[in-house]
Amino acid sequence: MSLMNRPYFRTRIAENTRLSPSACKIVFERPEGFADAFPGQFISIRVSEVTVPLLRRPFGIMDLSSTGISALIKVIGPGSSILAAKRAGEEVEIAGPLGGVPFDRPGGEGVVFVAGGTGLGPVIFCARSWKRENISCKTHLFIGAQTKEELLDGLYRDDFSFIYSATIDGSAGYKGNIVELLEKEIDKGGIPSELLYSCGPKAMVRALVDRTGSKFKNHYTSLESVMGCSLGACRGCTVPAIEDGKKVMRSVCLEGTVFNSEAIDWEEWK
């Protein structure tokens, strides 16, 4: 049976590079028919041919060329571990590009990105795509990690106009979390206040909403949630939102991944 012409592919790993104890960059051969993608979109990967782990795992697209699709993989559990251990040449099944709402191209003076943990890949894709499209606005990356090693700074050094980093252990950059650093830099001045794009753990995004929400005109965030179908069918990955004053459930896979942070019902989403 042929799955050709369907957004579901059997492809091969072209490269797998270990970047730190907990992260690797995987480049997949771009299968024929894999559509052009936008920042904030993702691929869903079947990491194992057996039924443990059962579900495919979603990973944001970090870059896309005519021959390759790359993703940044943080190793946090069984699925990501299996993926990180795969070698060049191994076959995997992927679906994509998925995600109905990507990050918009920015206008204006500049955009502030805040990335933590698993959220770095999509943010890198933003910076790279817009550079290729000659969008002139300045990009400010705020990146947080546990240690210097986990900042992975070699990966994105040339992609952003300005980079501000924070580590929890203080081994590089500001000692503390990335939201504190952003607050401090806003107080100092020089940070554009138009647009904030965030991607990372829920706790980080929540802290941004609570502590820097009023400092930006708009805050868009790419969310994560456990996914079943990743196509908008099963309603498994929904987050509570408020639209026109009404409480609704929105799927991260199709109605996101990117949401206006004001639309999310943060009180409900604990």
Ligand X SMILES: Cc1cc2nc3c(=O)[nH]c(=O)nc-3n(C[C@H](O)[C@H](O)[C@H](O)COP(=O)(O)O)c2cc1C
Contact assessment for residue 137 and residue 106, using Cβ atoms and an 8 Å cutoff = yes
Residue 95 interacts with, from another protein, ligand FAD, ligand X, none (CB under 5-8 Å by kind): another protein
Helix, strand, or coil (residue 44): strand
Residue 77 lies near ligand FAD (rule: CB under 6 A):
yes
Site string for ligand X, 186-225 (x = CB under 6 A): ----------------------------------------
Q: How many whole angstroms separate alpha carbon 153 and alpha carbon 151?
A: 5
- Helix intervals (H) in the chain: 78-84, 120-132, 148-151, 178-188, 202-212, 252-255
* 58 lines the binding site for ligand FAD (CB under 6 A): yes
What mask, x for binding ligand FAD by CB under 6 A, covers residues 79 to 118?
xx-------------------------------------x
Query: 196 with 218: CB under 8 angstroms?
Result: yes
Q: Which residues from 171-230 bind another protein, rule CB under 8 A?
A: 226-229
Cβ at position 248, least distance to another protein in Å: 7
Q: Is 71 in the site for ligand FAD (CB under 6 A)?
A: yes
The 50-89 contact track toward another protein, x by CB under 8 A, reads -xxxxxx---------------------------------
Rounded Cα gap, residues 240 and 159, in angstroms:
34
Distance CA 44, CA 97 (A): 8
Which tokens is 201 given?
Answer: 């753990």
String marking each residue 60-99 x if it binds ligand X according to CB under 6 A: ----------------------------------------
**Count of alpha carbons within 13 angstroms of residue 163, beta-carbon side:** 21
Name the 3-class secondary structure at 246. strand
H-run or E-run covering 25: strand 23-29
> If binding is defined by CB under 6 A, does position 236 make contact with ligand X?
yes
Is 91 an interacting residue with respect to another protein (CB under 8 A)? no
User: Which residues would be at the binding site for another protein (CB under 8 A)?
Assistant: 1, 3, 6-8, 46, 51-56, 95, 226-229, 231-238, 240, 247-249, 254, 268, 270
